[in-house]
Amino acid sequence: MKLKELAEKLNLSQTTVSRALNGYPEVNEATRERVNKAALKFGYSANANARRLAMGRVGAIGLVIPADSSQRFGPHTAEFLAGLAERLSRDEIDFLLSPIVDNDEISVYKRLISSKRVDAIIVSGPVLVDERVSMLIDANFPFVLHGRTNIDRPHAWLDIDNQGAFYQAASHLLDLGHRHIAMIDGLRGFTFSEHRELGYRQALSERGVEIDPRFIVHDYFSDEIGFRETQRLLSCTPQPTAIIAGSMMTALGVSRAVRNKGYQLGKQVSLITHDDVFPYLNASNMVPSMTTTRSSMRSAATRIAEMLVRVLDGEPVDNIHELWPVELTVRQSSGPPISG
Amino acid sequence: MKLKELAEKLNLSQTTVSRALNGYPEVNEATRERVNKAALKFGYSANANARRLAMGRVGAIGLVIPADSSQRFGPHTAEFLAGLAERLSRDEIDFLLSPIVDNDEISVYKRLISSKRVDAIIVSGPVLVDERVSMLIDANFPFVLHGRTNIDRPHAWLDIDNQGAFYQAASHLLDLGHRHIAMIDGLRGFTFSEHRELGYRQALSERGVEIDPRFIVHDYFSDEIGFRETQRLLSCTPQPTAIIAGSMMTALGVSRAVRNKGYQLGKQVSLITHDDVFPYLNASNMVPSMTTTRSSMRSAATRIAEMLVRVLDGEPVDNIHELWPVELTVRQSSGPPISG
DNA sequence: CTGTTAGCGCTTTCAT
DNA sequence: ATGAAAGCGCTAACAG
């Protein structure tokens, strides 16, 4: 069923039917009602492509995702998508996931823009100087960045205080008396990862604690890495008495390695985890319950979606940025150091 | 930059330029090269909406996802999307995630179809008699079902042998001598969940083991449910000596509850988990390593994407269905029962 | 091999 | 308050 047919059935012009359907004010209310009823009855719904071609607006936002089986597409991404969906569905905005082809990420963004398939883009996982961001600014294409990058031109972003998170975690451990503290975080190069390391270093430096490079790990977020690296760390001399884990997945591996060695969390080894709030994996339910720095991926995504709508409504982007604090929740997995 | 302008710059007709760009054979190779170079130079890329409007084909497939903060959008979905991306990127097919609005799932599907935004749809999480499937068949719209439903009309699907999985798991436990076996699986109503219960019941019945309804749990896949339900189960009389968990998340909770009670996995309580293969959470790395029924969500998705391409190429759907076996891998978390 | 000419289905001036 | 007609940017017959 197309507009023309619907119009014929109603003995109206396409124009009027279109206007009625799209809520234009100049339509007689009686007519509008008649049209709406008919549309419903015949299951009419506008051809999105024609509509967009005519309007130049799309009703979808784009998201570029890794296509390989890398670990970059994990539970974090899932939470993120869920958060976006939650907000965007209100405005009937869909999202288009474009896999990266040929490992050429930037050109996927370019195609996405020039092919006019999306009204705006969400950029995730920025690195310190992110060329995607400068490209999008150059192209004057609407976007919101999830995270931060060192590019000093106005753009919309939302980030959590990663530096503060690890600073708090490390400081808490230092307060407890720990002097050998390790961190196992995400891949190097990503802003969040660098910021976290910064926070960690800052806390240690402030107390005059020397930084042992063997105690700083950057890798994928996974159970396995957490396990392996913890085993390695626990065979170092001196041994770390505390570990900060960058994700819940990592933390699961850390816990396992600690248990495996006959140690207890919160005793021989303290553990603080950054928790992105997974509905299916809850830090407070663990045994022992886990001390965390906590920040919800899902809420961040929902908020980002909101910011995106504002950007699309033409609000100037220099006002659109938020830095979310991260809250340290002390539970049982962290305690004063005891000699192993 | 639009086609017309590009054509003018080249002193060619739009048609020729279009043909050159789209790889039509009748174009002179020299011309084609000239066109391609110019396109690259000016950063031309066709307006997708115009293209689709003209061709009636979209180059995108649709996926309907829950928009609420339900647990339905979890790590399984993430793996699934990653698998799709892997395959679809080869054909430059994007996917459109449409959140469910107003809890009216079926109308989201209808809109997706009539608005011509996607060429095909992937349907996930079928229930025993799934109205989405019958609707799509009625509408004659291309789709592939991930899972199965009791609708006896030809359609493409891929499912894993959920019944076999739980049958194998239960049989293995029975072989080991267990007589009190519990299962904690996904929500009731979903086909996979019902099939799994069927397999479980079948195995127990075959050995003349009575089925205790308290030992059958259906709920979300989460750490917390696993923990709570295991605590409940371990306070039953008689106690189950073995548990089959429907997902890794559940199993994490089960393990925790078992440890917490001073029991060991594979001793007082055996555990078999269905593992969808998460890159960040590996059954064989656990301590004790976990006995699993194993089936990769990601590979299934990749395969489904492939089937979808075949459907779109017009292959008759009655030939397009696959039932994947599920393989039991015995590791350390399952052993003969010992008295608690 | 290249060009001319119609559409694809909708929105939007501009009239009335 | 309604309609006629002109695009939106592209592809696909049909000619040559």
Among B279, B296, B313, the domain-final residue is: B296
Give domain status of residue B91, yes or no.
yes
What is the span of the domain harbouring residue B119? Answer: 60-160+298-324
How far from chain centre, in Å, is Cα A140?
A: 23
What CATH code is carried by the domain that includes residue A68?
A: 3.40.50.2300
Whether residue A149 sits in one domain with residue A88: yes
Residue A34 corresponds to which tokens in the numbers above? 């008649």
Give domain status of residue A90, yes or no.
yes
Whether residue A224 sits in one domain with residue A127: no
Whether residue B309 sits in one domain with residue B198: no
Selected residue of A71, A89, A224 to mutate for chain B interface (largest B Cβ count, 10 A):
A89
Judged against a pLDDT cut of 90, whether residue B313 lies above it is answered with no
Whether residue B202 sits in one domain with residue B126: no
Give domain status of residue B277, yes or no.
yes
pLDDT for position B295: 96
Which residues lie below 8 Å from residue A30, measured CB to CB, with a gap of 6+? none
**Distance (Å) from the alpha carbon of B282 to chain A's nearest alpha carbon:** 7
**Distance (Å) from the alpha carbon of B129 to chain A's nearest alpha carbon:** 24
Give domain status of residue B245, yes or no.
yes
Q: How far is the CA of A240 from the C1' of C10 (A)?
A: 66
Give domain status of residue A329, yes or no.
no
Selected residue of A2, A93, A94, A119 to mutate for chain B interface (largest B Cβ count, 10 A):
A94
Number of domains in chain A: 3
Segment A188-200, tens digit of pLDDT: 999 999 999 999 9
Segment B140-195, tens digit of pLDDT: 999 999 999 999 999 999 999 999 999 999 999 999 999 999 999 999 999 999 99
pLDDT for position B69: 62
Q: Per-residue pLDDT for chain A (340 aa), expressed as one digit of tens each?
A: 899 999 999 999 999 999 999 999 999 999 999 999 999 999 899 998 999 899 988 888 999 888 776 667 888 988 999 899 888 877 778 888 888 877 888 988 988 888 888 999 999 999 999 999 999 999 999 999 999 999 999 999 999 999 999 999 999 999 999 999 999 999 999 999 999 999 999 999 999 999 999 999 999 999 999 999 999 999 999 999 999 999 999 999 999 999 999 999 999 999 999 999 998 889 988 889 999 999 999 999 999 999 998 998 889 999 999 999 999 999 999 999 986 4
Segment B87-137, tens digit of pLDDT: 887 777 888 888 887 788 898 899 889 888 899 999 999 999 999 999 999
Are B222 and B250 in contact by the 8 Å Cβ rule? The answer is yes
Whether residue A211 sits in one domain with residue A118: no
Whether residue B317 sits in one domain with residue B195: no
Whether residue A147 sits in one domain with residue A166: no
Which residues lie below 8 Å from residue B328, measured CB to CB, with a gap of 6+? B165, B168, B169, B172, B272, B291, B292, B293, B294
Give domain status of residue B337, yes or no.
no
Q: Which nucleotide is nearest to A16 (CA to C1')?
A: D2
Whether residue A304 sits in one domain with residue A291: no
Strands B60-65 and A216-218: unpaired
- CB atoms A99 and B99 under 8 Å: no
Q: How far is the CA of A124 from the C1' of D5 (A)?
A: 45
Whether residue B70 sits in one domain with residue B139: yes
The predicted model scores a pTM of 0.90
User: Rounded to 5 degrees, what are φ and ψ at A331?
Assistant: -130, -150
Instruction: Name the residue among B90, B96, B115 with its Cβ closest to that of A46.
Output: B115
Task: Give A-chain residues touching B118 at CB under 8 angstroms.
Answer: none
Q: How far is the CA of A54 from the C1' of D7 (A)?
A: 8
Whether residue A179 sits in one domain with residue A289: yes
Whether residue B108 sits in one domain with residue B198: no
Are B84 and B302 in contact by the 8 Å Cβ rule? The answer is yes
Segment B58-73, tens digit of pLDDT: 888 999 888 776 667 8
Segment B282-311, tens digit of pLDDT: 998 888 999 999 999 999 999 999 999 899
**Distance (Å) from the alpha carbon of A58 to chain B's nearest alpha carbon:** 9
What CATH code is carried by the domain that includes residue A33?
A: 1.10.260.40
Are B122 and B308 in contact by the 8 Å Cβ rule? The answer is yes
Whether residue B87 sits in one domain with residue B113: yes
- CB atoms A97 and B85 under 8 Å: yes
Give domain status of residue B331, yes or no.
no
Give domain status of residue A339, yes or no.
no
At how many degrees (to 10) do helices B3-10 and B29-42 cross? Answer: 120
At how many degrees (to 10) do helices B131-139 and B105-114 cross? Answer: 20
- What band does B57 get if pLDDT is binned at 50, 70 and 90? confident
- CB atoms B81 and A81 under 8 Å: yes
